[in-house]
Structure 1
Amino acid sequence: MHLWTDLSQVPAGFGPSVVTIGNFDGVHRGHAEVLGRIVDLARQDAARSVAVTFHPHPAQVHRPGQAPELLTGLVDRAELLEATGLDAVLVQEYTLDFARQTPEEFVARYLAGPLGASTVVVGRDVRFGRDNSGDLRTMVELGRHYGFDVVTVDDVGAADHAEEGSTPGHDRWSSTYVRELLQAGRVQDAADVLGRSHRVRGTVVHGDARGRELGFPTANLGDVVGMVPADGVYAGWLSRPDLAHAAPDHADIRLPAAISVGTNPTFDGVERRVEAYVLDRDDLDLYDEEVVVELVEHLRPTVRFDGIEPLVEQMHEDVARARAILSGGPS
């Protein structure tokens, strides 16, 4: 997949292409299904499939105090978009200058220009251009002028896949709904919408070394990218992308882990942290390494223990449950 961060990087004569536009935060199942349709449509038309997305999120530019917490960072978003089969992704820097373009300026410069759009795929509620003044009717009119077709797609949601056991009560898969689930610690339900376990990433930093003293050395994530779910203890996986790139067959690329999110109230902690204990391993040196943590199942909420002994006892129980869950056994 081509990944462009500037329109100038699009090679001359790239089109024809089937293009869609969106933020695609989290790249959930609804996004993936729509993007899959775009890939299929492009193949049928002997064209390239392209997604235009934005960084930062437009809400972070227009109303930073009210912007939603993003589910994924740009690296993960790009990886997830690539997994849909797209030929290319253009990550457009979103600025106030960019937002001032008229609908026609945007279409002429981006869709009908270097991308050579033959088809543009949008939702029925599409808005684009200065002050969101462009809508579906505008896009269709501009398509006639610049020579591309406009195809509309409806939202895809749980109601369309009821046979798959999707989370009841929500007919529409959305990034907003995933945020609500993660805020409640419901990572399994979030995975139903995402089509995968939610993940965050960060660089392993030095902590208090308290876990090692208790017999459970943890990797403490600094500068976490991705939405951190509710405080609690989770079963999950720790992955090492740099190791995967350097040694694809290495046994330690993806490791089972018990993950703690919270402030360590037993020790009067105040800083909210994400820590991962790789099950039954005390030989790993992960400092300064970027890791990805996937959250599979919520084990329990964060609680304050009356001393170290009951805390360690509970940690042993957490590890045993995590091991059973991740090995496919009864939890």
Structure 2
Amino acid sequence: MYYWNDLAEVPSDLGPTVVTIGNFDGVHLGHQHVLARLVKAARDHDAAAVALSFDPHPAAVHRPESAPELIMGPADRTEALAEAGLDGLLMVHYDLDLASLTAEEFVRKFLAEGLHAVAVVLGHDARFGRGNTGDLDTMRELGAELGFDVVAVDDLDALPEGPEDTQGRRCSSTWIREALAAGDVRTAARLLGRTHRMRGVVVHGAARGRELGFPTANLAPESTGLIPADGIYAGWLVDSAGTRWPAAISVGSNPTFDGVSRQVEAHVIDRPQEAVEDFDLYGQCVGVEFVERLRGMVAYTGPEALIAQMRLDVARTRDVLSTEGPVAG
């Protein structure tokens, strides 16, 4: 997949494109539904499938005090968009100058003249242009004037394996954030179509886990991906070589030891004997995937009670992950 940071980077000989527009935070099943239609339309038009997205998130520019935390970081978003089959991703810097463009100015500059769109794929609730005044009808009018088709895509609201009371709810980034804030990583995974992941560099911590017999890989504070609710999770640690290791993951401030800052740390379990001594993750960029929340964060009366609970957490992690398939390299 080609990646462009500016319209000027798009090659003049790219040829015709079919384009969709969005923030794609999480690249969840709803996004994947639109992207699948995009790829099909591109193949039907013998054109390149291109997504136009924005960085930073527009909400961070217009209302920074209440902008949502991002579900995934830029690297994971780009990877997920590539996996959806896109030929190109144009990531436009979002600022007040861009926001000031009228709907017609935006479409003419980026879609018609910049990307030579022969078709545009949009959801029914799409908004664009100054004050979000442009909508699907606006795009159809502009398409008739500027020479591109418009493909409207219905929302995805029938999700697999979900409770009946969620079947009518629109798949959205908001719903995923709510699920993660509640520690419900199972629902988040159902909406994402994959396990929720954080990504970051492993840094040195207080070494309390090692002292207790449960060494952990601590993610740096600037790691990307939305941190779920405090608690203990069963999941996976994916090292820089792509190997997935089963892990018991702690999210919280270590209340037993009067911690104050939130940390994400993963204790890899069931390492092969030959990997025990040489298992060093410091400085590596790793992924941490959350499969199931085992319990909330609790302050214990001392190290002995905490160690006993951690042994139970490891056993439960092993049980949960035994149904998730083998470790893959």
1:4-153 alignment, distance < 5 Å: 4-153=4-153
Structure-1 residue corresponding to 2:236: 237
**Aligned with residue 213 of structure 2, among 212, 215, 237:** 215
Answer yes or no: is the 8 Å Cα contact 1:11–1:114 preserved in 2: no
Shift of residue 259, structure 1, vs aligned partner: 0.2
Give the conservation status (yes or no) of the 8 Å contact 1:201–1:290: yes
Secondary structure of the residue that 2:165 maps to in structure 1?
Answer: coil
2:260 is equivalent to residue 265 of structure 1: no
After the TM superposition, which segments of 4 or more aligned residues of structure 1 sit over 3 Å from their partners? 280-283
Q: d(CA) in 1 for partners of 2:138 and 2:34?
A: 22
TM-score, with normalisation over the residues of structure 2? 0.93
Unmatched 5+ stretches in structure 1: 245-252
Shift of 1:13: 2.4
Mapped pair 1:157 → 2:122: no
Check if 1:228 corresponds to 2:227.
Answer: yes
* CA contact 1:167–1:192 (8 Å) conserved in 2: no
Deviations 1:152-195 (A, max 9, x none): 1111122xx4xx31243232111100111111101011111111
**For 1:257-296, what per-residue CA distance to the aligned partner results, in whole angstroms no more than 9, with x for missing partners?**
1100000000000010000011144532111211110000
Question: Is 2:304 the counterpart of 1:309?
Answer: yes
Match for 1:263: what amino acid?
S
Q: Which amino acid aligns with 1:5?
A: N
Taking structure 1 as the reference length, what is the TM-score of the superposition? 0.92
Matched, 1:300 2:299: no
Structure 2 residue matching 1:165: 3-state secondary structure: coil
Measured in 1, the distance between the counterparts of 2:33 and 2:103 equals: 27
Partner of 1:321: 316
**Alignment partner, residue 250 of structure 1:** none
Aligned residues: 316
Q: CA–CA distance in 2 between the matches of 1:270 and 1:231?
A: 12
Aligned to 1:247: none
Contact (CA 8 Å) 1:14, 1:114: kept in 2 or not? no
SS of corresponding position for 1:113 = helix
How much has 1:101 moved relative to structure 2?
1.1
1:41 Cα shift? 1.5
User: In structure 1, which of residues 282, 285, 291 is the aligned counterpart of residue 286 of structure 2?
Assistant: 291
Specify the alignment match of 2:327 in structure 1. Answer: none
